[in-house]
Amino acid sequence: MSKVLTTPFATLKLDRYPTDSHPSLQAFDAADEYLLNELAALNPTKNSKILVLNDSFGSLACSLANQFSINSYSDSYLAELALYNNLVQNNIPLSTINFIPSTELLLEQYDVVLIKIPKTLALLEEQLIQLQPHITTNTLILAGAMIKHLSKTANELLEKYIGSVQASLAIKKARLLRVTPTHKKLIKSPYPSCYKVKELNLTLINHANVFCREGLDIGTRVLMPYLTYQPHLINVADLGCGNGILGIIFALNNPQAELMLVDESYMAIASAKENWQQALPNRSATIKVADGLLNQAKNSLDCILCNPPFHQQQVIGDFIAKRMFKQARDCLKPQGELWIVANRHLNYYQLLKKLFTQVTTITQTNKFIVLKAIK
């Protein structure tokens, strides 16, 4: 259901994306409203070039689109889709906003920068490093978040890379940080980072927003021993692939398999492409940013591997996993297999039982469970 956001810049009907993922929540929060109201009070000139970072559903960019030159910079393909959907819904030309994936370079100088503090602070750090050459001491920079999501580390990163920070009073449990740019020495980014997987004799490359960037996650380690040679599985997808490790392991053990790796994070896909090239330089694969398997042909896959997320930005829940499981069911061939590893407490077994013909517990630890579901 669309929710209305009214600010001095516009009155808009806005939807989250996916639209049915969490119908009780709206596509903006009090921090978005606070940022827009504060910006209006500061009265930027009409020809201002504005950069918006981490605009989850396009509320900031859409509100400003008809009055300013807007670039929206994000690591999320779902955020990009949300932005375009909300532009269309509000009859705003798509050409008014330039979306820049996080893996591309910023090219312009900006008069105003609006930052929604992301969940992953490594992502914020990388974004601030990339931002440094594109601001001046006259650039207006406002960062915002709900107080419960605003850490001391975010404040420290803004001070380290941009300049002094002044915190606002809280309004509706949201807070702004006004950042005054100073001349800072340009710092070489520490990202991407690497770690070794001794069992596979691989070094994995991980860009800033990749899940478990500093080491192989425990869930993947639980699933790894079961990604063995299975010659009947040809068309295989790694759904929500992150740095690509599950798909790479399966490919190494299954020379007959044709792999597709998909994720909604641009940095995840960049990592997966680099890791695939290192591990399997002479073998092709489809590795792409996508909304899961939404556009994959029905009944086209033999097997899907998945280590599903249990949150979208700051919102925790099983709605993203449910959507992935439904996509998997639709895209699998009859008797096709979905393999997932997940935290035991999420109780995906019962959810999968409603969608698949057969669900088997392959193994479990005190924290994780590996399930195999057959269509």
Instruction: Classify residue 187: in a domain, yes or no.
Output: no
Judge if 307 and 208 occupy the same domain: yes
pLDDT computed for residue 312 by the predictor: 47
Judge if 130 and 262 occupy the same domain: no
- Contact yes or no for 269/289 (Cβ under 8 A): yes
SS3 annotation, the chain? CCEEEECCCCEEEECCCCCCCCCCCCCCCHHHHHHHHHHHHHCCCCCCEEEEECCCCCHHHHHHCCCCEEEEEECEHHHHHHHHHHHHHCCCCHHHEEEEECCCCCCCCCCEEEEECCCCHHHHHHHHHHHHHHCCCCCEEEEEEEHHHCCHHHHHHHHHHCEEEEECCCECCEEEEEEEECCCCCCCCCCCEEEEEHHHCEEEEECCCCCCCCCCCHHHHHHHHHCCCCCCCCEEEEECCCCCHHHHHHHHHCCCCEEEEEECEHHHHHHHHHHHHHHCCCCCCEEEECCCCCCCCCCCEEEEEECCCCEECCEECCHHHHHHHHHHHHHEEEEEEEEEEEEHHHCHHHHHHCCCCEEEEEEECCCEEEEEEEC
pLDDT computed for residue 23 by the predictor: 64
Q: What is the pLDDT of residues 7-55, one digit of tens each?
A: 999 999 999 998 765 667 899 999 999 999 999 999 999 889 999 999 9
| Average pLDDT of the segment spanning 259-278 | 97
Number of domains in the chain: 2
Q: What is the CATH number of the domain that holds 366?
A: 3.40.50.150
Query: For residue 48, which amino acid is it?
Result: S
Judge if 210 and 235 occupy the same domain: yes
pLDDT computed for residue 313 by the predictor: 52
Instruction: Classify residue 188: in a domain, yes or no.
Output: no
Q: What is the pLDDT of residues 168-183, one digit of tens each?
A: 999 999 999 999 999 8
Q: What is the pLDDT of residues 202-216, one digit of tens each?
A: 999 999 999 888 888
Judge if 236 and 137 occupy the same domain: no
Q: What span, in angstroms and rounded, lies between the C-alpha atoms of 150 and 177?
A: 10
Query: For residue 186, which amino acid is it?
Result: L
Structural domain including 134 reads: 3-181
Judge if 131 and 203 occupy the same domain: no
